[in-house]
């Protein structure tokens, strides 16, 4: 079932579909294929299995309790990846998005999505990395020249690779890209079909712990790797009080995860299908510090957008500063 024609013009819908396909992104869940008029009594939130803080709020019924005095109910909708989540946000099928990787918003903005930045998690540069097998002779990024490297097209890992290559005087044309989702990327990596893999946590922690993968370089001084929370712009404008409550609870959830690492890993591990030790290793590298969107985070969004435009991954230049930003009280 498709979105109503009035909700998104055909050219943008075509481009979003193409972007989703090239980034290895699944289709929108059928349950969200019909947008509806905004209902201030129902808050619709999209999330992924990796949306740690939002999932914590969901599992504890925190938002249901916090919004009960305002008589606002909460609906939860799971997505497999970020771009279709933001597409649903744009067409009115969702009100809020849980965190998405820093490379995702520029794709939505390039397609004309009407979204508002409302929070970030502060940088977690070591939560994504370029890895090689433990017995690989490769010890520097420059040695990837002419080699096959796996990564998800249009993901934060893609941006990390672009910048890491640029710092050594190379470009994407100097390697052989293998555009693979995390599951296929790990298979190719472990089978020796690629020389390196660019990936993020918890996949990074899993391949380190389970296969002994060696980090060639992480995002330190290359890519900050912030996580962004977005809202449908009409919702952000009409219901700032609800957005404030969600923001406050996300901050509290982030504090709890960092102060209770063992309990947080035990809780999240079954959701991710990983052991608690692997989840704890991944969580240690994530800041989980929810803060207002600042000028530096938007500047890096612009750098990411420009890098993808220069690599001809985005079809047009995006001006991130034109996007609305909600600020907490």
Q: What is the pLDDT of residues 266-291, one digit of tens each?
A: 999 998 999 999 999 999 999 999 99
Whole-number pLDDT of residue 49: 86
Q: What is the pLDDT of residues 218-253, one digit of tens each?
A: 999 999 999 999 999 999 999 999 999 999 999 999
Whether 265 has a pLDDT exceeding 60, the answer reads yes
Q: What is the pLDDT of residues 151-169, one digit of tens each?
A: 998 889 999 999 999 999 9
Q: What is the DSSP letter of 230?
A: E
Q: Which of 80, 110, 78, 93 is nearest to 12 (CA)?
A: 110
CATH number of the 5-123+225-322 domain: 3.40.190.10
Q: What is the pLDDT of residues 171-187, one digit of tens each?
A: 999 999 999 999 999 99
Whole-number pLDDT of residue 277: 97
Map tokens 């939130």 to a residue: 45
Whole-number pLDDT of residue 37: 42
Asked: is 125-218 a CATH 3.40.190.10 domain? The reply is yes
Same fold, 5-123+225-322 and 125-218: yes
User: What is the domain partition of the chain in residue ranges?
Assistant: 5-123+225-322, 125-218
In whole angstroms, give the CA distance from residue 233 to residue 185. 35
Mean pLDDT confidence for 184-207: 97
Segments in 122-239 forming alpha helices (H): 156-167, 182-190, 203-211, 233-238
Mean pLDDT confidence for 35-59: 82
Whether 112 has a pLDDT exceeding 50, the answer reads yes
Q: What is the pLDDT of residues 307-325, one digit of tens each?
A: 999 988 888 899 999 999 9
Sheet bearing 196-200, strands edge to edge: 176-179, 148-151, 196-200, 128-132, 214-218
Whether 50 has a pLDDT exceeding 90, the answer reads no
R_g (Cα) of the chain, nearest Å: 19
Lowest mean pLDDT among 5-14, 115-124, 173-182, 304-313: 5-14
Q: Helices 261-272 and 52-60 sit at what angle, rounded to 10 degrees? A: 90
Whether 18 has a pLDDT exceeding 80, the answer reads no
Whole-number pLDDT of residue 40: 55
Percent pLDDT > 90 in the chain is 77
Band of pLDDT at residue 2, cut at 50, 70 and 90? very low
Whole-number pLDDT of residue 35: 43
pTM of the model: 0.85
């Amino acid at each position: 079932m498709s979105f109503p024609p009035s909700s998104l013009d055909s050219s943008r819908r075509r481009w979003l579909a193409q972007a989703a396909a090239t980034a290895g992104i699944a289709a929108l869940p059928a349950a969200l294929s019909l947008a509806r008029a905004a209902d201030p009594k129902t808050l619709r939130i999209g999330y992924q299995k990796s949306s740690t803080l939002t999932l914590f709020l969901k599992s504890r019924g925190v938002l249901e309790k916090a919004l009960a005095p305002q008589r606002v109910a909460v609906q939860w909708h799971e997505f497999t990846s970020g771009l279709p989540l933001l597409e649903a946000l744009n067409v009115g099928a969702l009100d809020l998005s849980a965190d998405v990787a820093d490379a995702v918003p520029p794709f939505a903005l390039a397609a004309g999505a009407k979204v508002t930045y409302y929070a970030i998690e502060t940088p977690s540069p070591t939560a994504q990395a370029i890895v090689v097998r433990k017995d690989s002779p490769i010890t520097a990024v420059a040695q990837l020249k002419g080699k096959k490297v796996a990564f998800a097209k249009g993901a934060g890992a893609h941006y990390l690779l672009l910048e890491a290559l640029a710092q050594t005087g190379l470009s994407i044309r100097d390697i052989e890209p293998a555009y693979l989702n995390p599951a296929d990327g790990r298979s190719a990596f472990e089978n020796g079909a690629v020389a390196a893999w660019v990936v993020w946590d918890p996949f990074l922690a899993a391949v380190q712990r389970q296969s002994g993968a060696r980090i060639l370089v992480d995002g330190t001084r290359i890519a900050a790797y912030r996580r962004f929370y977005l809202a449908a712009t009409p919702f952000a404008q009409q219901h700032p009080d609800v957005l404030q409550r969600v923001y406050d609870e996300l901050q509290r959830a982030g504090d709890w995860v960092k102060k209770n690492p063992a309990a947080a890993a035990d809780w999240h591990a079954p959701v991710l299908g990983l052991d608690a030790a692997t989840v704890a290793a991944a969580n240690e590298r994530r800041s989980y510090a929810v803060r207002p969107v600042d000028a530096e985070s938007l500047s890096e969004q612009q750098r990411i957008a420009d890098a993808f435009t220069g690599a001809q991954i985005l079809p047009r230049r995006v001006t991130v500063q034109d996007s609305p930003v909600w600020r907490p009280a």
